[in-house]
Chain A
Amino acid sequence: MKAIPFNKNIVFSVLLAVIVFAIVNRIIPPHVSPVFDVVISKNRSSITDIHQTRDIEISRTAKVDVIDLADKSRFRHSKLGDLGYANDFFVDINAPFTVKKSGDYIFFVGSDDGFALSIDDRQICEWTHDRPLTVDPCRINLSEGPHKFKLEYFQGFGNAGLTMGYAFASDGKQYIAGDDSKYISFSKK
């Protein structure tokens, strides 16, 4: 059997290759499927209520694949990292989705702090002020076909996070908003 050539130059070459790979891996921005546009708006003043008048200083939009933004007790995507500001910001997500099977659905919204969820311009649940991360079930009957939802959220001070899931009521299996199932699909942009 032929011996594998192994010397200091090969070690150096391998070391260089590893360093280059690590750098390239570090500097390529993380990417996820752009399912939802998440508009994050920094408020000039403190936020204590989801419906308070907004005084926006600056806004930016992030594209995410799922609404699972409660990583490390922050408003953070597990791959994309921190999305929000330090404190006092609003988040708006407006997105279409398609119901494949009509019936009762439950949307599970977890928020730290407040949120308001509307489907087809009808608000179905909300938590108006601050709280630790807590999940609220929001029930609605949906017909087969296209719909749209609007999720508003605010972070005041301290820990933060926003999640949204759904389930077909009679099935009970939960999916994360953004993950397609046999009941609902989300438009991929």
Chain B
Amino acid sequence: MSNNLLKPGHPVHDLARKYIFPVILLICSFGVYFTHYGTPNAMFWDENYHVASAEKHVQGVMYMEPHPPLGKMLMGLMEVVIGANNKVDKHKFLETDHIEGADTPPETRYTGYRWPSVVLMALSVLFFYGILRRITKNNLIAFLFSSFIIFDNATVIQARSAMLEGIQLFFILAELYCFVNVVTRGTPIRLKDYALLGVIIGLGISVKVTSAIELLLFVMLFGVDQWRNIQTLNYRELAKRVVITAPIGIGAVAIVFLSIFYIHIGMGTKVIAGHTYKASPEYLQAIQGGDTWSFSTFRIGLRDNLKYMSEYADGVPKLDECKPDENGSFAMDWILGKKTISYRWDKDTVNGVVQVKYMNIVANPIIWFSVAAGIVLSLGLIMSRFIYGQKEKDAPLFYWICAFTSLYVFYMLAILQIERVMYLYHYLIPLVFGSINLALMFSYIYREDILANNKHMWINLSLFVALVIAVFIFFAPFTYGIAMTEDQFEMRNWFSFWKLQVVQ
């Protein structure tokens, strides 16, 4: 009977196909991301920077930052909409780029600033599910593997905060969904598809420039679009098409990116004394003249902002693993979750027992290690096809695996070229690529079992997902700042290379 439920045509199957799985995922996702929403009631890690920047948007103050402004704009917007701090004096937020505890009135709440990251990340599961559903054409596989985007401790702690990664991942997944949708819908790829993809990629880049990895999607889209011409080496047709599609795609990215900066520059109508950043005299003069929305001001404002971003990046120190308090880590170490970062901790003694509330970015090792294994398997598969000439058993799925493995590998290669110190959360983007890749690899390896609806395979996969959830719950004290004794901490200190630091 249970087999019948999973067969197409059955009413339960059709209902599940349309609504039940996405609804369950949304409930789980909002449940996980909104648990202890707004806590801790204090800033941690880069929140001290981003809240300061978001508040400058709220109060119309000019500022410059190493990251593009869209993420902070959304934080500022929701701070206004939610109005949790309407009666709080936040003038000191405007006088600094890094808010200290002493600058923060105790009644300050962070529910507004954190809202965009939390909600967008919670919604992202729909894109993740949609991507897998469209590629694998199997709702249950898509549903079960969507747990990866909900139950990863590192992703959750980052997305629960007023930081940029939750917002960025939303746009990354939106771009991927857009791309997958265009490729799998079965109709010819149109110019407006390039434009739409460009718009979403532009939004992602306007949050963090590391989203530029998604520009590769244009290359892939063009490859699918022109597959026949590529196979026949029809250079004339390829050239004709690229001359049209490249300007449309890249133009859309540029228009969105510049539009975001136009709004950013236009909103900066005040200058705080002593905080002029790299603003040129003519830019400052334009602000003082109330001319921030003109195109001439936009031109000089954009130039000054980009110059500031470039010089800031050059000034960031390099990774120094000999430094005792180094929080950064080498990109290849991220694959196994090295190294964790202690964002903040609060120590208390209850009935003579020391308890510490940790806020640490810690990987869900089941997810991270599985993703690493998936990449090893997919690289092996790709090599077997292109080096050893093995024939793939499911060509479309094989090429999807190639696509997501490529995104993962190219992101890591790009990151390895960056000299400045980087942190564990910079791995969250390739983790998304790797998670999708793992689901596809599973579908590839167990293709016959999926087609045969093999119970053993489904039980295994369900147990695997249950393990993902159980391990997430086990490490949840690090994610939500739940008090732990030293023994409870040590119980979770699984690997010395994670470099978790106990507070005594």
Using a CB–CB cutoff of 8 Å, the interface residues on chain A facing chain B are 8-9, 12-13, 16, 19-20, 23, 26-27, 29, 42, 58, 81, 85-86
- A20 and B467 contacting across the interface, CB-CB below 8 Å: yes
Interface hits, B268-299 → A, CB 8 Å: none
**Can you report 24 residue pairs joining A to B where beta carbons are below 8 Å apart?**
A8-B445, A8-B449, A9-B446, A9-B454, A9-B456, A9-B457, A9-B460, A12-B460, A12-B464, A13-B456, A13-B460, A16-B460, A16-B464, A16-B467, A19-B467, A20-B467, A27-B491, A27-B492, A29-B487, A42-B504, A58-B354, A81-B490, A85-B504, A86-B504
Q: How far is the CA of A42 from the CA of B366 in the complex (A)?
A: 37
Q: How far is the CA of A107 from the CA of B449 in the complex (A)?
A: 68
Which residues of chain B are near A29, meaning CB under 8 Å?
Answer: 487, 491
Which residues of chain A are near B474, meaning CB under 8 Å?
Answer: 27
* Cβ-based interface call for B230 (8 A): no
B458 closest partner in A (C-beta): A9
* Cβ-based interface call for B463 (8 A): yes
Q: How far is the CA of A12 from the CA of B457 in the complex (A)?
A: 8
B463 closest partner in A (C-beta): A16
* Cβ-based interface call for B258 (8 A): no
* Cβ-based interface call for B309 (8 A): no
Task: Tell me the smallest distance from the CB of B139 to a CB of chain A, in Å.
Answer: 21
**Known A16-B460, A58-B354, A85-B504; contact A23-B471, beta-carbon cutoff 8 A:** yes
Which residues of chain B are near A42, meaning CB under 8 Å?
Answer: 504
* Cβ-based interface call for B312 (8 A): no
Q: How far is the CA of A42 from the CA of B491 in the complex (A)?
A: 22
Q: How far is the CA of A76 from the CA of B499 in the complex (A)?
A: 19
- B457 and A19 contacting across the interface, CB-CB below 8 Å: no
Q: How far is the CA of A114 from the CA of B456 in the complex (A)?
A: 62
Which residues of chain B are near A85, meaning CB under 8 Å?
Answer: 504
* Cβ-based interface call for B227 (8 A): no
Chain B 463-504: CB-based contact to A (< 8 A → 1; otherwise 0) = 110010001001000000000000100111010000000001
Which residues of chain B are near A9, meaning CB under 8 Å?
Answer: 446, 449, 454, 456-457, 460
Task: Tell me the smallest distance from the CB of A57 to a CB of chain B, in Å.
Answer: 10
Q: How far is the CA of A29 from the CA of B487 in the complex (A)?
A: 8
Which residues of chain A are near B492, meaning CB under 8 Å?
Answer: 27
Task: Tell me the smallest distance from the CB of A20 to a CB of chain B, in Å.
Answer: 7
Which residues of chain B are near A81, meaning CB under 8 Å?
Answer: 490
Apart from A8-B449, A12-B460, A27-B491, what 16 extra A-B contacts exist at CB < 8 Å? A8-B445, A8-B446, A9-B454, A9-B456, A9-B460, A13-B456, A13-B460, A16-B460, A23-B471, A26-B494, A27-B474, A27-B492, A29-B487, A42-B504, A58-B354, A86-B504
Task: Tell me the smallest distance from the CB of B408 to a CB of chain A, in Å.
Answer: 22
Which residues of chain A are near B490, meaning CB under 8 Å?
Answer: 81
Q: How far is the CA of A48 from the CA of B491 in the complex (A)?
A: 33
Using a CB–CB cutoff of 8 Å, the interface residues on chain B facing chain A are 354, 366, 445-446, 449, 454, 456-457, 460, 463-464, 467, 471, 474, 487, 490-492, 494, 504
Q: Classify the secondary structure of A's interface with B.
A: helix
Q: How far is the CA of A23 from the CA of B456 in the complex (A)?
A: 23
Q: How far is the CA of A8 from the CA of B377 in the complex (A)?
A: 14
Which residues of chain A are near B467, meaning CB under 8 Å?
Answer: 16, 19-20
Q: How far is the CA of A60 from the CA of B26 in the complex (A)?
A: 45
- For the complex of A and B, the 8 pairs showing the least CB-CB separation, nearest first, are A9-B456, A12-B460, A27-B491, A9-B457, A16-B463, A13-B460, A9-B460, A26-B494
Which residues of chain B are near A20, meaning CB under 8 Å?
Answer: 467
Which residues of chain A are near B449, meaning CB under 8 Å?
Answer: 8-9
Which residues of chain B are near A16, meaning CB under 8 Å?
Answer: 460, 463-464, 467
Q: How far is the CA of A8 from the CA of B492 in the complex (A)?
A: 31
Q: How far is the CA of A42 from the CA of B486 in the complex (A)?
A: 15
Q: How far is the CA of A3 from the CA of B362 in the complex (A)?
A: 44
**Known A9-B454, A9-B457; contact A19-B446, beta-carbon cutoff 8 A:** no
Q: How far is the CA of A150 from the CA of B463 in the complex (A)?
A: 52
B366 is contacted by which of A8, A13, A19, A86 (Cβ under 8 Å)? A19
Which residues of chain A are near B454, meaning CB under 8 Å?
Answer: 9
Task: Tell me the smallest distance from the CB of A172 to a CB of chain B, in Å.
Answer: 40
Q: How far is the CA of A29 from the CA of B486 in the complex (A)?
A: 12
Task: Tell me the smallest distance from the CB of A17 to a CB of chain B, in Å.
Answer: 9
Q: How far is the CA of A13 from the CA of B454 in the complex (A)?
A: 14
Which residues of chain B are near A58, meaning CB under 8 Å?
Answer: 354
Task: Tell me the smallest distance from the CB of B307 to a CB of chain A, in Å.
Answer: 46
Which residues of chain A are near B446, meaning CB under 8 Å?
Answer: 8-9
Q: How far is the CA of A126 from the CA of B494 in the complex (A)?
A: 39
Task: Tell me the smallest distance from the CB of B308 to a CB of chain A, in Å.
Answer: 42
Which residues of chain B are near A27, meaning CB under 8 Å?
Answer: 474, 491-492
Task: Tell me the smallest distance from the CB of A88 to a CB of chain B, in Å.
Answer: 12
Q: How far is the CA of A13 from the CA of B464 in the complex (A)?
A: 9
Which residues of chain B are near A13, meaning CB under 8 Å?
Answer: 456, 460
Q: How far is the CA of A49 from the CA of B377 in the complex (A)?
A: 60
Q: How far is the CA of A33 from the CA of B445 in the complex (A)?
A: 48
Which residue, A8, A12, A23, A81, has most C-beta atoms of chain B within 10 A?
Answer: A12
Task: Tell me the smallest distance from the CB of A8 to a CB of chain B, in Å.
Answer: 6
Task: Tell me the smallest distance from the CB of B446 to a CB of chain A, in Å.
Answer: 7
Q: How far is the CA of A8 from the CA of B446 in the complex (A)?
A: 8
B494 closest partner in A (C-beta): A26
Which residues of chain A are near B464, meaning CB under 8 Å?
Answer: 12, 16
Q: How far is the CA of A86 from the CA of B467 in the complex (A)?
A: 36
B365 closest partner in A (C-beta): A23
Which residues of chain A are near B487, meaning CB under 8 Å?
Answer: 29
B485 closest partner in A (C-beta): A60
Which residues of chain A are near B463, meaning CB under 8 Å?
Answer: 16
Which residues of chain B are near A12, meaning CB under 8 Å?
Answer: 457, 460, 464
Q: How far is the CA of A12 from the CA of B446 in the complex (A)?
A: 11
Q: How far is the CA of A85 from the CA of B502 in the complex (A)?
A: 11
Which residue, A9, A19, A29, has most C-beta atoms of chain B within 10 A?
Answer: A9
Q: How far is the CA of A51 from the CA of B492 in the complex (A)?
A: 38
